[in-house]
Structure 1
Amino acid sequence: MNLAKRIAYLRIALICIGLIALVCFYPLMIVWPSGWAWHTGYSDYPLMIVGIYATLGVFLLIAARDPLEHLSLIWFTVWSSVVHGAVMTVQSLMHGEHRAHLLGDVPALFIVAIVLAMLTPRGETARTLRRAAWLKSLP
């Protein structure tokens, strides 16, 4: 896949992931709580996590306009998803009542990380693309 297609697919992925983070987390917690919500009964946790992911969703949508200008946000999303997914995997394995998360939010986090990591330019390629974009923006 050439670089232009990769950036185009990255933009699409950022839009899809951003919209899912912005719109879908709370409904998933309601529809499938055993796979998406970590607390039962009253808890402040769901609203807090929805707020965090909705905010991330908005910023991923902004990043989709020009991914090369938002590489640090994209890589934060990749690595925070890996860490969050790894912690939840351990917790799900340690506590039987949370095993359904291994089919719900845990794989979702790893899929987000893999998709973004595969599509996001890194190293010298990213530096070259950012330099070219910066030079192009000059009057």
Structure 2
Amino acid sequence: MDDSTRLKSLSIALYAVGAIATFALYPLMVLWPSGWAWHSGHSDYPLMIVGIYATLGVFLMRAARRPLEHLSLIWFTVWSSVVHGAIMTVQSLMSPGHLGHLIGDVPALFIVAAVLAALTPRRAQAGAGVPPQPSLRTN
């Protein structure tokens, strides 16, 4: 895949992941709680998670316009998704009532991480497309 195709694909992936995080997480928690919600009954947890992911989603959609300028946000999304997915995998396996997450939000997190990691250029590859950063040092 050439660089321009890769960046275009990355932009599409960032926008799709951002839109899903912003607009689809809460409906998924309501419609498929065994695969997306970790609490039953009254809990403040779902709104906190939705708030965090909706905020991340908005920033991912903004990053989709110029992904090379937002590599740290993209890599944060990759690695936080891996860590979050790993923790949820262990918790799902330790609590039989949460096994539905192994076909819901757990694979979703790993898929997001894999797709963004595969499409995101490493700093050395992206060097030509990233504007120089201002130095904070003064002489």
Q: TM-score, normalised by structure 1?
A: 0.93
Per-residue deviation, 1:89: 0.1
Within a 5 Å distance, the mapping from 1:52-63 to structure 2 comes to: 52-63=52-63
Structure 1 CA distance, aligned partners of 2:91 and 2:128?
41
Unaligned runs of 5+ in 1: 135-139
Give the CA deviation at 1:128: 2.8
1:65 partner letter? R
Give the Cα separation in 2 of the matches to 1:109 and 1:81.
5
Partner of 2:19: 19
- 2:124 aligns to what? 124
Q: How many residues end up aligned between the 2 structures?
A: 132
Identity %: 69
Compare the two structures and name the one with the higher helix fraction: 1
Within 5 A, what are the aligned runs for 1:47-126? 47-126=47-126
Partners of 1:127 and 1:83 in 2: CA distance: 27
Taking structure 2 as the reference length, the TM-score comes to: 0.93
Give every structure 1 segment of 4 or more consecutive aligned residues whose post-TM-superposition deviation is greater than 3 Å. none
Shift of 1:126: 1.9
- The one-letter code of the counterpart of 2:21 is A
Structure 2 CA distance, aligned partners of 1:124 and 1:116? Answer: 17
Say which SS state the counterpart of residue 65 (structure 1) adopts.
Answer: coil
Inter-partner Cα distance in structure 1 for 2:116 and 2:64: 12
Counterpart secondary structure, 1:24: helix
Deviation at 1:118, TM superposition (A): 0.2
Cα distance, 1:87 vs structure 2: 0.1
Q: Which residue matches 1:9?
A: 9
The alpha-carbon deviation at position 11 of structure 1 amounts to 0.3
What is the deviation of 1:129? 2.5
Structure 2 counterpart of 1:104, which letter? Answer: G
Match of 2:136 in 1: none
Match of 1:137 in 2: none
Give me the CA root mean square deviation: 0.8
